[in-house]
Amino acid sequence: MLPSIHSIMRRLRGHHLALLIALDETGSVRKAATQMALSQPAITKALREIETTFGTELFMRSSRGIVPNEVGRSVIRHARLIRSELGDLREEIAGILRGSGGTLAVGAVMGAIPTWMTPALRLLRDRQPDISVEVSEDTSARLLGMLDQRALDVVLGRPNVSMHAEAYDFVPLAAEHLEFVVGAQSPLATRKRVQLRELSGLQWIVFSAQMPMRLVLEQVFDDAGIDFPAHALETSSTFATVSLLRSDDKLVAMMPSMVASYFETCGLLKVLPIQVNRMSVPFGVVTRKGAPHSQPVEAFIACCMSLDKAMRTP
C-alpha cells in the first residue's frame, strides 16, 4: 500500500533526494558513495530508507550496476524538480536579504491594470530588480477567493463584492470612469453622435449578474428608461471582450475609460461619444485583515501609494 503524503514528508530527507539524483547520474552505488563522500554501506542503508518511505522498490539491481525502474524514474524526476525549487528558494532568500528580491502574487480587476498595476509594478521593479511577480486578472469576487486561499498576496479590487468584506484591509484608490465601446470596424465607430437608445437594439457583452460593472450598466439603462438588453453575452475576460467586439459589428460593451483608451490607441476598439453619468464602485488595495505583510507586499503597496499621491497632486 502506498504510504500517505504525511508519512512520506515525515520520513523523506534532503540527503535522500541528493542520493536519488547521484544514483541516477552514476548508475552505481560505489560511484554514488564517492560522489557524496559516504561509505557504500551508508548509501545502501539510505536507499533502503527511501524505498521503505515510498513502499516500493525504486531501482533494479544487477552486476552491471543500478538502474531506476518506472517508479524510480518518476521519483527521481520529482527529486530534480525539488532540487531546482530549493535553488530558486535560495536565490529568493538571498534577494530578500539584499532588499532587492522576493516574490509577489498580485491580482487586479480589469480597470486597475493600465492605471495602477502596470505603473506600480514598473516602479517596484525599478526599486527591486530581482523581484519575481505573478499577475492574475479576474473579477473581484474570484480574486478575493484566491486571496483567501493564499494564492495571492494582494489584490487591486473591491472587497464590497464579498459577503465578508470585513475580513479584508482596504485602501481605496480610485473610482473608474466608464465608456461604451465597439470594434474599430463597426459602422458606429465613425459616428460623431450616438444615442444610448440606439445601442439598446444591439447585442451586449456584459459582466455576470451582481458584478459591480454589471450593476452600473443596469443603473445606466434604468436612468435612461431603457430596458436592459436581453440575451447578452456574459464574460469577465478582457481578451474575450475585445476579440468578440472585433469579430462582430453588432456587439457593444462598457469598459473602464483607461482600458478603453488603451485598446482604442491600439486600433482595436472605438470609444463611442456617449457620456456615462455613473462611475463604478471605487477599487483599491485589498489584503487579508490583520495579516503580516511580506517585504514585497509592503513595497508594492508603497508604490501604489506613491502613484496615488502623484495623481492627486495638481
- Tens of pLDDT along 253-264? 999 888 999 999
Q: Residue 205: which of 176, 241, 255 has the closest Cα?
A: 241
Tell me the per-residue pLDDT of 281-295, one tens digit each, with 9 for 90 and over: 889 999 999 988 888
Beta-ladder partners of 283: 174
Amino acid at residue number 29: V
Residue 76 pLDDT: 95
How far apart, in whole angstroms, are the C-alpha atoms of residue 58 and residue 72? 4
Q: How far is CA 245 from CA 135, 204, 306, in A?
A: 25, 9, 35
Tell me the per-residue pLDDT of 37-64, one tens digit each, with 9 for 90 and over: 999 999 999 999 999 999 999 999 888 8
Residue 170 pLDDT exceeds 80: yes
Which domains does the chain possess?
Answer: 5-97 (1.10.10.10), 100-175+282-312 (3.40.190.10), 178-271 (3.40.190.290)
Residue 314 pLDDT: 60
Q: Residue 54: which of 13, 8, 123, 92 has the closest Cα?
A: 8
Amino acid at residue number 215: L
How far apart, in whole angstroms, are the C-alpha atoms of residue 6 and residue 44? 24
Return the higher-pLDDT residue of 192 and 130: 192
pTM: 0.64
How far apart, in whole angstroms, are the C-alpha atoms of residue 298 and residue 308? 15
* pLDDT category of residue 193 using cuts at 50, 70 and 90: very high
Residue 124 pLDDT: 95
In a 13 Å sphere around the CA of 77, the CA atoms on its Cβ side amount to: 6
Which residue in this structure is represented by grid cell 505583510?
A: 293
Tell me the per-residue pLDDT of 99-137, one tens digit each, with 9 for 90 and over: 667 889 999 998 889 889 999 999 999 998 889 899 999
Which residue in this structure is represented by grid cell 511580506?
A: 294
Number of other residues whose CB lies within 10 A of the CB of residue 80: 14
Q: How far is CA 287 from CA 67, 105, 139, 152, 293, in A?
A: 50, 12, 16, 9, 9
Characterize 2-32 residue by residue with b for buried, 16 or more Cβ atoms within 10 angstroms of its Cβ, and e for exposed.
eeeeeeeeeebeeebbbbbbbbbebebbebb
Return the higher-pLDDT residue of 280 and 167: 167
Q: State the average pLDDT over residues 236-242.
A: 91
